[in-house]
Amino acid sequence: MLLEVEGLCVNYGHIEAIRDVTFGVEEGTVATLIGANGAGKTTTLKTLSGLRKVRAGAVRFDGKDITHAPPYQRVLLGISQSPEGRGCFPGMTVLENLDMGAFLRKDRKSAAYRADLDRVFDLFPRLKERERQAAGSMSGGEQQMLAIGRALMAKPRLLLLDEPSMGLAPKLIQQIFTIIGEINQQGTTVLLVEQNAAQALKRADTAHILETGEIVRSGSGRELSGDDSVKAAYLGGDL
């Protein structure tokens, strides 16, 4: 198991944001967390990235306890996140944003670094076309591509994706999810938080439903997408 989350509890002040959350992510798979707004999905990812303090429970990555490790150590170990809202640096170019994703790498003048940059451009040809353009002048879809590309420049073993389809047109949503599948096929494990439950479940090896900070259902993506109660609650009654 690449990622193990056990009994995780996180508070915002006196309010419990997530409570006794336990799940795992096998290496080489796509896992997804789905649920309504406020269910605790983004808090879970921020906690895995080290941006939220753990009140109780444990997080292990490749067998190593990282429960209280700072964010930079988690990046060095192989965890990288594309955040909700994209978080691109608007005044910086595409290339500069991508370089920021590699800020902890010591091989930034190497052939390996260039190969990783070329991989991002192969996945997102639009970024190659815009490499000298300021991120703030790009469309929402292009900024989403940039946020994912920036996360990939850290060479993650586990890629955390927070709402990659938010605010995108349907055609772009399909494109983004296709690329997420390609990233996984290239060997990167993916943990996806997504309100577009239908798209997420189609691609997930394992899926977990969060409600008010707790996991209430787990199973394969296929099992949950075929469950009538899940369809009614998250898929509009139909996949």
| CB-neighbour burial class of residue 232 (10 A; exposed 0-12, middle 13-18, buried 19+) | exposed
Q: How large a percentage of the chain has pLDDT more than 90?
A: 83
Q: Are β-strands 56-61 and 3-12 bridged in parallel, bridged antiparallel, or unpaired? A: antiparallel
Contact between 180 and 191 under an 8 Å Cβ cutoff? The reply is: no
Kindly report the backbone phi and psi dihedral angles of residue 212, in degrees, each rounded to the nearest multiple of 5, phi listed first: 45, 50
167 confidence band (pLDDT: 50, 70, 90): confident
Q: Which CATH number, 1.20.1250.20, 3.40.50.300, 3.20.20.140, 3.40.190.10, labels domain 1-78+156-239?
A: 3.40.50.300
Note the residue count of the chain: 239
Kindly report the backbone phi and psi dihedral angles of residue 73, in degrees, each rounded to the nearest multiple of 5, phi listed first: -65, -35
Res 86: pLDDT: 85
The token duo for 14 is 């006196």
pLDDT digits (tens, 9 = 90+) for 39-65: 999 999 999 999 999 999 999 999 999
Contact between 210 and 191 under an 8 Å Cβ cutoff? The reply is: no
Evaluate if residue 192 carries a pLDDT over 50: yes
* Mean pLDDT of all residues in 100-121: 92
The token duo for 26 is 């096998």
Q: Where are the alpha helices (DSSP H) in 125-169?
A: 125-129, 140-152
Q: To the nearest whole number, what is the mean pLDDT of the chain?
A: 94
Looking at per-residue confidence, does 127 or 236 come out higher? 127
The token duo for 84 is 């909700």
Residues whose CB falls within 8 Å of the CB of residue 21, separated by 6 or more in sequence, listed in order: 5, 7, 8, 9, 40, 44, 57, 210, 213, 214, 215
Q: Is 99 helix (H, G, I), strand (E, B) or coil?
A: helix
Q: Are β-strands 206-211 and 214-219 bridged in parallel, bridged antiparallel, or unpaired? A: antiparallel
236 confidence band (pLDDT: 50, 70, 90): low
The DSSP output letter for 107 is -
Evaluate if residue 154 carries a pLDDT over 70: yes
CA 233 – CA 239 distance, rounded (Å): 11
Chain center to CA of 83: 7
Which residue in the block uniquely carries the two structure tokens 């990812």? 45
Sequence spans of domains, the chain: 1-78+156-239, 89-155
